[in-house]
Structure 1
Amino acid sequence: MTIADAAEIVAELERLLPDWIDLEPARWQRVEYALRRAEGAGPVFPTFESFIEWVDEDTSAEWVEGEVYFMSPASTEHQDIVGFLAAVLRFFVERKRLGRVLIAPYRIKLPGYAPEPDIMFLAAEHVGRLHQTYLDGPADLIIEIVSPESVERDRIKKYNAYEAAGVGEFWLIDPAHQSAEFYQLKGSRYELAGVTDGIYESQQLPGFRLPVAWFWREPLPMLDEALQSLGLL
């Protein structure tokens, strides 16, 4: 596609739907990115800084060595687990004054990669890594809820990137297969941590004892029930 072709597409979109840019920012960014790629041979965003300046809070996307990959919409189950777990973790972390809990869309700047984790914990001594729209460097704990379209990305790309960057703990929650894997960094490599009597004890969150069966309950536990179980209420 040439620049002239791209200009014709934009003109036609403006003719058919004059306010198309304002209606759905995330969709507009996908179209804009495709048009900009068509205009040149190299990466549209060769640096993390150029990507982070362009992407907005309405667009779920990751930057991988100059290329942008847009995320599919999350399922209701995915959103329920993220919301539940983030609420429990945030209460625990704030009560214990351990640091900060952040959720997507919020990105991490790693070498050649800008992933958008579902949930992450940053210890109080590392909050200086936080910027307006991204974390510069590894989190202490990252949690990914696996969806059908993210299996390879979560289990290979992100696993390797988080391990190499020094993310202290990585959880992989897979609702489709009702499996939960907890990896702890030992030296420079991840080791699969054990679960005793259905309870996982976090390395990065001292005192946090997670009943894994919570994830497979329908509906999920009420927040006050979970907090009482953790001794927080």
Structure 2
Amino acid sequence: MAPPHENNSLTYAEYLKLDEEVQYEVIDGRIYNMSPSPNVKHQSIAMELSTEFNVYLRNKSCRVLAEVDVCLCEEEDLTKVNEWVKPDIVIVCDEDKIHKSRIVGAPDLIVEILSKSTAKTDRMIKFHRYQRAGVKEYWIVDPAHETIDAYVLENELYKHNGTYTNDEVIEVRIFDDLSIDLKNVFREEFEK
């Protein structure tokens, strides 16, 4: 199957048939190319955050997953699914939403790590789409400034819960007893 163009429509069933190394997201009918791969600092931050979440969630019912397809609607027929995203990190506490190759429905927490090519999409388009889908908590990580903007869903709208810097501790609002020291997340410099 030929790669799609931004103006074409694409169902999730068609996407799964693509023989491309290129990955796509579709939001509100628009196709977003997810290439190129994230840089080393982006990957390091994702790994450190995932580690913090994994240690806390061990032997609990919630799961942390990275770069998995998320179909925000709860449609089971893949030929009718015409919107999905691939966040950097998701936490899902309803195991019925976890399918073999994707998440079906809104995760409890989504983390997006900005890059030059995704910043506008993450800050605006995905922000509003995650809010509309009912994602309880949304973090936008800025690797260049080593900050995290945290948003919590209240009355169907995101409330800015704060901007946290590399020397602060961030509370994970979907859990009563999880805080992450951001010195452990933003711990390395990659200048080479």
The 5 Å alignment of 1:11-90 reads 32-34=2-4, 43=8, 45=10, 47-51=11-15, 53-55=16-18, 58-71=21-34, 72-90=36-54
Contact 1:118 1:144 in 2 (8 A): yes
Distance 1:89 1:156, change over 3 A: same
Distance 1:158 1:65, change over 3 A: closer
Q: Secondary structure at the match of 1:173?
A: strand
Aligned to 1:142: 110
Aligned to 1:110: 72
Q: Secondary structure at the match of 1:113?
A: coil
Q: Does 1:205 align with 2:168?
A: no
Distance 1:57 1:215, change over 3 A: farther
Aligned to 2:78: none
**1:153 Cα deviation after fit:** 0.6
The alignment covers a number of residue pairs equal to: 178
The runs of 5 or more residues in structure 1 that have no matched partner are 1-28, 221-233
Contact 1:60 1:70 in 2 (8 A): yes
RCO comparison, higher one (Cα < 8 Å, 6+):
2
- State the TM-score, normalized to the length of structure 1: 0.68
Distance 1:202 1:56, change over 3 A: farther
Q: Secondary structure at the match of 1:171?
A: strand
Aligned to 1:227: none
Contact 1:182 1:193 in 2 (8 A): yes
The percentage of counterpart residues that share the same residue type is: 26
**Which one-letter code corresponds to 1:198 in the other structure?**
E
Q: Secondary structure at the match of 1:214?
A: coil
- State the TM-score, normalized to the length of structure 2: 0.81
- Higher mean alpha-carbon deviation, 179-188 vs 209-218, is at 209-218
More helix by share: 1
Contact 2:45 2:186 in 1 (8 A): no
Deviations 1:187-207 (A, max 9, x none): 100111147992221111331
Distance 1:102 1:209, change over 3 A: same
Q: Secondary structure at the match of 1:176?
A: coil
The runs of 5 or more residues in structure 2 that have no matched partner are 74-81
- Rounded to whole Å, the distance in 2 between the matches of 1:151 and 1:137 is 24
Greater C-alpha Rg: 1
